[in-house]
Every structure is written in C-alpha cells, then in structure tokens.
Amino acid sequence: MSREQKQQAISSIKGTRDILPEEARLWQMVEESARKIFELYGFRELRAPIIEPTELFEKGTGASSDIVTKEMYTFTDKGGRSVTLRPEYTPSVVRAIIEHRLDLQPQPLRFYYIGPMFRYDRPQKGRYRQFHQLDVEVFGEKDPAVDAEIIEMAHRLLQAVGVEGVTILVNSVGCPTCRPAYGQALREAAARVKDRLCPDCQRKVEINPLRIFDCKLENCQAAARTFPLINDFLCEDCREHFRQFLIYLDLYHLSYKIEPTLVRGLDYYTKTTFELVVENFGAQNAIGGGGRYDNMVKEFGGPDLCGTGLAIGLERLLLVSKIEAIPQSYAYFAHRGEQAKQASLLAASYFRSCGIPCLLEFKERSLKSHFSRANKIAATWVVIIGEDELAAGEFQLKDMLRSKQYKGSLEQLARIIIDKESSRKSALSKE
C-alpha cells in the first residue's frame, strides 16, 4: 500500500449515515415498542429482500411517480438484470403474497416490517437516501373499520414513544369507477392554468394531474386551489366507505381533519388515504401515512385481494419523539492477580447466565484504579475479587449509585443485584 493510499480516509456515502450506539439505543426502544404494538393487533413480521427487480416498482409504485422517475437506486447486476434498492415496501409484500400463495391463508393477512428503504433524493434535515420505515399492511379486508384500526394503532405507537400534537389528515381518492370522471374534470381545470405551473407540473397535466396537489411550489399550490375536488365525484361505494371510515375514527375518539387534496404521491391508492402530521419547530411535518390499494395485487397478476397499509418514517419519528434512553446497568469486576482474574472470568460468566450484564477489563490495576475505572465507564456495580476473598469464598459488592456495600457468596450477590435492579427499573418506569 502506498503512502497516499494509506492517507485516503473513506467516509460513508452521501445521504447515508452511521447510527452510533447511544442513538441506536433510542432506535431499539422505538422498534421494540412498534413490534410489541403491531403484535398486539395481530400483525406478523414479513421480511422481504432489500433488492428487487426494477419492474416491481415500475409496476407497483407507478412508472410516472416521482419515486420511479427520479429517485430510484437502480443498477445492472453482474447477470445483466436491472435491480433496484427498494424505495418503499408495499410492492415487495404484494410480490411475496403472490409468490408464496399467502392468499390461501385465512384472511385478513396482517404483516409488518421494520427496515431500510432507499431513495436518491436531495439529502436534507431528517431525510436520508437510506432511510428507515415501520410498515404495516392488511390484505383481504374491505371493511373501512380496518383502515380506522390501523390509524388507531399508529396513534397508540406515537403515544408510546412520546410524540405529541399529532394531527390525522384523511381523504378518499376514489376508485377506478369514479376517478376517470374526476380525472377528466381535473385535467380540464389544470389545462386552463397550465402556463402558471412549474415545468414538472405541466408534464403532470397530461400524465397524472392528481400529482399537482403534491407540488410544494407556491404558484402550483395556488393554481391547485382552483381545481375541482374528488369528494364531489365519489361513487356511491366510495362515498359510503368514507362515511363509515369516519364513524369508526369517531368511535376511537381520534380527532382528524378531512383534507380533500390529500392524494399522496403514489398511483396505487384507492378510497382511503391518510397522513399523520406533527407540529415540530413551527412547521407541519408528515411522519407517516398510508391508505387503501384495492387493485394492486390483481394488477400484479395475483388474486383479487384488497389491501390497506401504513408507513412511518423512523428518522422523522425519532426527531419528534420524547423517548429517553435508560442507561444500561453493568457489573464491573475489580480483580488483583492472575488467580483473581480467572475467578472474575468465571464469576462474570455466572452473572451473565443470571441475566446480569457485565463488563470485564483485563488490565492489572490497584483497587483504587479499579474504582476510578468503574466510575469512568459508568459501571453501576463493582464486585471486588482479591486473594483473601477467594480464600474465604465471600466477596464484596459495591452499589455505585447508592454508595452501599454488600458481602456474600457470588450467588447471594447476584440475587442482590437482580432484586435492586428490578426495583430500580420499576421506579424508573413509574416516573
């Protein structure tokens, strides 16, 4: 290796980042809450690969969507296949259902997943090219009660991780029966103001005028305010579904706002769409959302299986969550001499088999130096193992948080740690 090569430090790819242990602890806590709550509602984990055939997203996410046209991590692999790092999860689940004939199982099917997604987006605060989502999907349930149940579940999760000031925006985007007439009216309205739209939205006038509502530019938003709204075009079936959906939201005492322009950036939604919005630093931020996609499975060549789901961005969730990490409690072994060191290895092994986390250090130190070391690494317990203690079979234990001392066999000390830790944890959780 040349000198120059040696000095070239490698850093992470733009738009990606390391989650270091202190922060990862918060991620674990949020993920654990999510798993627990999803399982409470009968969801089971389905883990699909991170890479998929590119056509899966062209077909599922929609060939004209911003995600597919601008933001996909697509490349050709060594076998000459076009593969894509998944930009969202739903098409993968749909593929898995068809591939494994999961539709033959009792319905509704309820799946969840927690993991990374990839979009070649402009990196900005709280947004990364590798980002992470909590994702839930239900298949084979037409009843709008399930749309409301998913939202109630999301609301429970947000409360569990200390997110406050959540607004639920809801809408219906219709179905293939009622959307064409609306699409026609919308296209006509958009064509009338075409020269006021940004080049991107001008293109959307022909392809998918619904997407103009998603544009963040002020000119386009002003123009979009003159457009007809979907609510006036809903067919009887969609209107009834939406009416019942709101009744179930009321039943759960969830406060929501009907947002007629909420169409979400994806082609596949039918009927229900929703977004979870949080007030943060004076700005409204969507931390998650979802909706119904009753035709996707069929369009993929699968059975006629309706679907509804939700995705929450983990990075954004963590930005607004008030969750605090409880520091890990460790036992540290202050040993002197080779024999005591070996006894410490065995004692730590025994403590760990009792479920007590231990930190072993192998350097020979004085007792005083052991204690200052234990302080530095924030050990909560110190077990003193010297030659005298070994001979007597009785050891000293120091509680570093309360400056208390105990004496006893390793079994007795382990019991003390377990008792004290469990009362400490229940005191913390009551706070």
Least distance between Zn ion and beta carbon 172 (Å): 8
* Cα–Cα distance, 193 to 170 (Å, whole number): 27
Cis (ω within 30 of 0) for the bond into 176? no
Tokens of 42: 């009968």
Tokens of 120: 């070649």
Nearest residue (CB) to Zn ion, 103 versus 200: 200
Residues 210-229 that bind Zn ion (CB under 5 A): 215, 217, 220
Question: Minimum CB separation from Zn ion for residue 237, in Å?
Answer: 5
Choice between 155 and 271, CB closer to Zn ion: 271
Residue 146 CB, nearest approach to Zn ion (Å): 18
**Shortest distance in whole angstroms from residue 244 CB to Zn ion:** 14
Residue 238 is a binding residue for Zn ion (CB under 5 A): yes
Stretch that binds Zn ion, among 1-9, 90-98, 109-117, 237-245 (CB under 5 A): 237-245
* Interface of this chain with Zn ion, residues 163 to 202, rule: CB under 5 A: 174-175, 177-178, 198, 201
DSSP string, 138-206: EES---HHHHHHHHHHHHHHHHHTT--SEEEEEEE---TTTHHHHHHHHHHHHHHTGGGS-HHHHHHHH
Judged by beta carbon, residue 63 or residue 222, the one nearer Zn ion is 222
* CA-based max dimension of the chain: 94
Our CB check for Zn ion shows the closer of 215 and 413 to be 215
Phi, psi of 111 (to 5 degrees): -125, 150
CA distance 112 to 241: 24
Read off the DSSP letter of residue 60.
I
The residue (of 177 and 366) whose beta carbon lies closer to Zn ion is 177
What is the size of the binding site for Zn ion (CB under 5 A)? 11
Nearer to Zn ion, 163 or 220 (CB): 220
- Cβ atoms of 424 and 408 within 8 Å: the answer is no
CA distances from 121 to 67, 68, 417 (A): 9, 11, 49
235 lies in the binding site for Zn ion (CB under 5 A): yes
CB of 74 to Zn ion, least distance (A): 25
Residues 5-64, interacting with Zn ion (CB under 5 A):
none
CB of 94 to Zn ion, least distance (A): 21
Q: What is the binding site for Zn ion (CB under 5 A)?
A: 174-175, 177-178, 198, 201, 215, 217, 220, 235, 238
